[in-house]
């Protein structure tokens, strides 16, 4: 399986842009954008695949101050399809301009809420018929949820203070399951060993991966060993 993974990209400022481009390729989107706010560090982060002309125009016009895909979406816990926002005058203001730059107004924003009041917003847009869009979204929405948290956690832990705050705390069940995974056991095996359902193993692994900022279980195992949470298999 080819996965879009930040840890495979070089440690540079452009790696988030590259990540977003990969998201577009894999999930058939025209553009993707990430905005993150970290009140603890007092920082705001933005990464987009849009062209420089639109970026410049967006900033000059101060559109970030009114853009409802940022301001409204963060009040939802579910992904916000832009059709929910399109009647607002701010939306019309932003996307009338966007249209001139060839940016479609059909999109979705996935809000992420972090533990320290930090907020992330991953948006993806695509120019296509409404029907096509409605078929596409259900197929990609779960993956986009995971990738939204993935890029958000990576951006939030990019400075030292936040990285220290972000030290992962795994429950003993999560550690137990990860330890068995390190020993090479499959999810099915682990379920049998611990007398729990296969799905319970799966949700704990998913949670552990996310806490360790990993997209795959082997990665999570590696990192957990690296910081001494579990022993090498």
Partner 1 sequence: MILVVDGLNRHLFGEVLDDMFELRARVFGGRLGWDVNIEDGKEIDQFDHLDPAYVIGLDDEGNVVAAVRALQTTGPHMLSDVFSDILCGEAPMRSATMWESTRFCVDTQRLTRGKEKNSVSYATCELMIGSLEYCRNAGIQDIITVIDPVMNRVLKRSNCAPYDYVGQTVPMGKVPAMAALLDCSEERISGLREFADIRHDVFIEEEEALEMFEAKKAATLSPANRDHKPLTDLEKYFVEQMSSAKTEEERQAVLKLIEALSDTFTPEQKTALLQTPRAFAHEA
**Phi and psi for 110 in degrees, rounded to 5?**
-105, 115
At closest approach, how far in Å is the CB of 91 from partner 1? Answer: 12
Whether 109 contacts 35, CB under 8 Å: no
SS3 212: coil
Compare residues 64 and 84 and give the one whose CB is closer to partner 1: 84
- DSSP for 176-193, please give it: HHHHHHHTT--HHHHHHH
At closest approach, how far in Å is the CB of 206 from partner 1? Answer: 5
Compare residues 177 and 182 and give the one whose CB is closer to partner 1: 177
Contact pick of 142, 160, 228, 232 for partner 1 (by CB under 8 A):
142
Compare residues 211 and 223 and give the one whose CB is closer to partner 1: 211
* 72 near partner 1, rule: CB under 8 A: yes
Per-residue tokens: 164? 């220290």
Give the contacts of 28 (CB within 8 A, at least 6 positions apart): 126, 136, 140
Helical residues (DSSP H) of the chain, grouped into ranges: 15-27, 52-60, 68-71, 89-100, 130-156, 160-165, 172-182, 187-194, 198-211, 217-226
Q: Which stretch binds partner 1 (CB under 8 A): 2-10, 74-82, 98-106, 220-228?
A: 74-82
User: Residues 84-123: x/- map of binding to partner 1 (CB under 8 A)?
Assistant: x---------------------------xxxx--------
Per-residue tokens: 114? 């972090």
Compare residues 31 and 204 and give the one whose CB is closer to partner 1: 204
171-200 positions binding partner 1, by CB under 8 A: 171-174, 196-197, 199-200
* 211 near partner 1, rule: CB under 8 A: yes
Compare residues 33 and 229 and give the one whose CB is closer to partner 1: 229
SS3 6: helix
Query: Which residues share a beta bridge with 43?
Result: 38
Whether 143 contacts 159, CB under 8 Å: no
Compare residues 158 and 207 and give the one whose CB is closer to partner 1: 207
* 227 near partner 1, rule: CB under 8 A: no
Residues near partner 1, by CB under 8 A: 72, 75-80, 84, 112-115, 138, 141-146, 148-150, 169-174, 196-197, 199-200, 203-204, 206-207, 210-211
């Amino acid at each position: 399986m080819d996965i879009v993974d930040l840890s495979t990209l070089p440690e540079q400022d452009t790696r988030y842009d590259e990540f977003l481009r990969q998201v577009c390729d894999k999930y058939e989107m025209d553009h993707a954008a990430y905005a993150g706010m970290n009140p603890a560090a007092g920082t705001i982060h933005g990464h987009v695949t849009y062209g420089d002309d639109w970026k410049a125009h967006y900033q000059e016009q101060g559109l970030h101050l009114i853009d409802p895909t940022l301001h409204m979406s963060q009040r939802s816990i579910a992904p916000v399809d832009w059709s929910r926002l399109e009647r607002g005058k701010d939306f019309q203001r932003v996307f009338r301009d966007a249209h001139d730059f060839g940016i479609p107004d059909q999109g979705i924003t996935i809000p992420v809420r972090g533990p320290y009041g930090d907020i992330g917003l991953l948006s993806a847009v695509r120019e296509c018929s409404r029907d096509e869009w409605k078929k596409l979204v259900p197929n990609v929405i779960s993956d986009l949820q995971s990738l939204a948290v993935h890029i958000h956690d990576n951006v939030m832990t990019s400075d030292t203070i936040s990285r220290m705050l972000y030290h992962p705390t795994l429950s003993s069940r999560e550690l137990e399951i990860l330890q068995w995974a390190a020993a090479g056991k499959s999810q099915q095996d682990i379920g049998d060993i611990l007398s729990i359902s296969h799905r319970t193993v799966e949700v704990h692994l998913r949670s552990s991966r996310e806490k360790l900022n990993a997209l795959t279980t082997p990665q999570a195992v590696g990192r957990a060993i690296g910081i001494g949470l579990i022993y090498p298999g």
